[in-house]
């Protein structure tokens, strides 16, 4: 029955989704088997699907231009500014929305993120562009958050801009840019971290930027440009 269930699920969802479902069910059935006095849970002899669906995505220069061109026309100017800040700093969307004015240090060029995903809190390192964005915002009386916009508003505005960018690329005959419709907000983080590697930073320096606490997690965000890798390889072969 479980093998049939897995096969049926695989027809409508990805393997890793089935694996997550299976992982949730396994301890439940193990506990039920112990309670019923069974020798083992039936799931002990079922092999779940295995798949790696890590996203490998770089943002092309023209994709960035088309996307931000549409983001700039959003009703709320904070949409564009928050997206640009995310690309500059590698901040996740939720992290951007949790940043507070009291934690902004313009002299050091940092913002302290109290509840980072790593569980420790971390400093958001600001490029000049990112700091200029923060300093361009007007703080009113009771504001505590730097970016006064909701996650849902960012999500909808981003998806709308992405769709408009794809249509514009199609109208202009840019057949090389169909992927702009597949961009996700989290790709800003992937791109920001990959750009640090492109610039020749060490892994430890990139970890300072990204907030990762282990190398395995960091390297999921490293997507080197293949043409640059080929150029380095040929330069090595040529002895230059």
pLDDT band at residue 54 under the 50/70/90 scheme: low
Distance CA 239, CA 147 (A): 50
Judged by DSSP in three states, 107 sits in coil
pLDDT tens track for 130-182: 999 999 998 877 789 999 999 999 999 999 999 999 999 999 999 888 789 99
Residue 118 tokens read as 């790593």
pLDDT band at 118 (very low <50, low <70, confident <90, very high): low
**Which of the residue ranges 23-27, 138-142, 226-230 has the most confident prediction, judged by mean pLDDT?**
23-27
SS3 label, residue 111: strand
DSSP class of 39: S
- Tokens (6 digits) for 52: 């790696």
Residue with more model confidence, 180 or 228: 180
pTM (predicted TM-score):
0.77
Q: Per the structure block, which two tokens stand in for 81? A: 């500014």
What whole-number distance in Å separates Cα of residue 239 and Cα of residue 39? 65
- What the chain holds in terms of domains, given with CATH numbers, is 2-45 (no CATH), 61-185 (1.10.443.10)
């Amino acid at each position: 029955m479980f093998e049939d269930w897995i096969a049926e699920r695989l027809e409508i969802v990805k393997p890793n989704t089935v694996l997550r479902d299976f992982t949730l069910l396994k301890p439940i059935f193990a506990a039920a088997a112990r309670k019923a006095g069974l020798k083992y849970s039936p799931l002990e002899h079922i092999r779940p699907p295995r798949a790696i669906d890590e996203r490998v995505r770089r943002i092309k220069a023209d994709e960035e231009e088309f996307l931000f061109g549409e983001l700039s026309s959003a009703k709320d100017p904070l949409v564009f500014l928050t997206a640009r800040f995310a690309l500059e700093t590698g901040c996740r969307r939720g992290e951007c929305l949790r940043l507070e004015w009291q934690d902004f240090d313009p002299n050091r060029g940092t913002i302290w993120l109290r509840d980072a995903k790593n569980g420790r809190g971390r400093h958001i390192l600001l490029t000049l562009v990112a700091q200029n964005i923060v300093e361009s915002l007007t703080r009113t009386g009771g504001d505590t958050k730097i970016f006064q916009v909701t996650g849902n508003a960012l999500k909808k505005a981003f998806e709308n801009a992405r769709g408009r960018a794809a249509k514009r690329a199609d109208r202009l005959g840019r057949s090389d840019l169909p992927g702009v419709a597949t961009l996700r907000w989290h790709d800003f983080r992937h791109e920001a971290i990959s750009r640090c590697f492109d610039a020749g930073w060490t892994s430890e320096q990139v970890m300072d930027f990204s907030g990762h606490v282990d190398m395995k997690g960091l390297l999921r965000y490293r997507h080197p440009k293949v043409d640059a890798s080929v150029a380095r390889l040929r330069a090595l072969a040529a002895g230059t």
